Amino acid sequence: MESNNPNDDPTKEKKDNRFPKKRPLPKLMACMTKHSLDTFRSKAIFSLAMLDSNGIRRRKFPLYECIILELKEAGYCDSSTYLQDLIYDNVQLVNQDDIGIVVDLRKRDDYLEHISGILQKVEKHRERNNTHKECNHLLNLAMYYAEREKGILWLAEKFYQVAIAVSSKHLLDGGRLKAICKYHYGKFLLDKFPGADPEEPFSLLTEVRDSAIGKTWPLSDAKEPGEVQPTATVFEATALQLHRVLLDKARAVRKEDTAKAERLARLAERRAKDAGETVKTAEAIIEIGICQLMMNNLNNAQKTFERAFKIYESGNNVEGLCETRMHLAAVMQRLGEYETAAKLLTEMGASAMEHGLRRQLGRALHLLGELHLRRERPELGTQHLAEAFLCFMGFQFQSLGSENKIGIESDKEGQEMGEIYIENENEIFEEEAEQSRLMTAISAGQELMASYFNLLREAGGCTVAKMKTIEWKLSHARWWVKRLHHDFLPCPCPVHHRTPLDVLCKTSSPVNSAVSPTSPVVTSKLN
């Protein structure tokens, strides 16, 4: 075969080097001599031999059928059967799938080749009784497909389950491998199916935790000899995931069963401590405090929030401090300590503004507005709530931010800074903004209510007020609008203090009447 190849001839190669090769002209079939026809035929036969029996089959049948057969023929019987089962399950899933999201493996040649390659390795390790490597290959396969598109997650799940089954046979390491597989499966369920019932991952992770108590099992092996051993242990990593599930569960039942939510949050706090995570610990403590506040357990709630405050303070966690101040203010408000509540919210707003936390600033302004409204100071409430709305929409904050920036870097163009700010801060907190807008309307309504009751009280001794009340009742003429004819009403009250004779003099003097406003003027200050 080798002598057929002209390039292998050393003399010819030399000749080629001396004379630059010319591009051969294409030969026409009609001009072929007997000799060239023979060469052509032998070449055709030679290239035919390149296609082995598998190659021919792959041209005729779909790839998945070929791979199943090839695996069997090469002696990988388990892999062949397993792949066949996978395809069977996949077909069922594709048929049940109404929205067309499930990946059809039969159409994904790249996935099929990848899977069959790994399955062969797995089967080799199984024959050599190397359960550890067998399991690791399966786990990696599962983790690989867990990070692919949504429609292939079913496959990842199957590989996780197989990996767990294999790891159960591996007892040399005291159950570390099994714990690792179960941990990854539990985390996968939590990460990829966030809305689903957390009971299965929760019980899986609880099993892992029970087996890992007191063990210093590293979560992953150092891949290279020189590589630094990863520091996270199975126990710590599992504790973090358990903290996450417990907090989610607590938040889900908080409204229906607050006492249960508090117990769950306390467990979450302990798990965060197991993991040595102070920020997560504070997060759980805040949840405990919220539950206590909901159960009207005000003194305990205050102590709990103060505990979280200390943790955030030591870590200089600005967002955490803002959140804790907000909750503490809610407790203070319930305790009737409005001044302290207002002080906390003001501090929260100031710190949020200093660190560019627009959402927290908006929240502080909104809550201050609500606090003023509750204390029957709607005129202050309306102002804060309107500011909160602007802040959530990103208007107020932009101007505040760019003013500060221009102050610092006066050489820069103001417009340029504005553009940068708009680009960075274009997020609109719609839901919060809508709430603030509604509360502003309520607060403004409260302002009018106060003003209306004031008017009614005045109407006892003031003719003008009486007239305004009557006009409002008869024709909804707004009492906070000043009208010309009110100036011509005789009224004995100390404010107006004019007799019918004064009014007569006023009407006869054209100069005085010209001074009076001819169009209604909105009074800026409401009484």
Catalog residues that contact Zn ion under the rule CB under 5 A: 462, 464, 491, 493, 496
- State the residue for tokens 């627009």: 358
Judged by CB, which is closer to Zn ion: 420, or 526? Answer: 526
Judged by CB, which is closer to Zn ion: 307, or 486? Answer: 486
In whole angstroms, the minimum distance from the beta carbon of 479 to Zn ion comes to: 13
Q: Report, in this order, helix, strand and coil percent for the chain, each rounded to 5.
A: 75, 0, 25
In whole angstroms, the minimum distance from the beta carbon of 526 to Zn ion comes to: 17
In whole angstroms, the minimum distance from the beta carbon of 339 to Zn ion comes to: 37
Q: Which two tokens stand for residue 15?
A: 């000749």
DSSP H/E element including 308: helix 298-314
In whole angstroms, the minimum distance from the beta carbon of 477 to Zn ion comes to: 17
In whole angstroms, the minimum distance from the beta carbon of 491 to Zn ion comes to: 4
Judged by CB, which is closer to Zn ion: 242, or 464? Answer: 464
In whole angstroms, the minimum distance from the beta carbon of 502 to Zn ion comes to: 12
In whole angstroms, the minimum distance from the beta carbon of 487 to Zn ion comes to: 11
Q: How many whole angstroms from its chain centre is CA 300?
A: 31
Judged by CB, which is closer to Zn ion: 371, or 462? Answer: 462
Q: Of 296, 382, 384, 291, which is closest to residue 333 (Cα–Cα)? A: 296
Judged by CB, which is closer to Zn ion: 112, or 462? Answer: 462
Judged by CB, which is closer to Zn ion: 397, or 479? Answer: 479
In whole angstroms, the minimum distance from the beta carbon of 455 to Zn ion comes to: 11
Q: Of 275, 257, 265, which is closest to residue 307 (Cα–Cα)? A: 265
Residue 126: strand, helix, or coil: helix
Facing residues of 521 across strands? 482
Judged by CB, which is closer to Zn ion: 94, or 503? Answer: 503
Judged by CB, which is closer to Zn ion: 240, or 455? Answer: 455
CA distance 133 to 118: 11
In whole angstroms, the minimum distance from the beta carbon of 480 to Zn ion comes to: 16
E-only strand ranges, 87-196: none
What separation in angstroms does the CA of 203 have from each of 7, 179, 345?
67, 13, 41
**Residues contacting residue 62 through CB under 8 Å, at least 6 positions apart:** 106
The number of C-alpha atoms within 13 Å of 448 and in the hemisphere containing its C-beta is 11
Judged by CB, which is closer to Zn ion: 169, or 497? Answer: 497
Q: How many other β-carbons are positioned within 10 Å of the β-carbon of residue 39?
A: 12
**Residues contacting residue 358 through CB under 8 Å, at least 6 positions apart:** 352, 391, 392, 394, 397, 425, 427, 429
What secondary structure letter does DSSP report for 481?
A: E
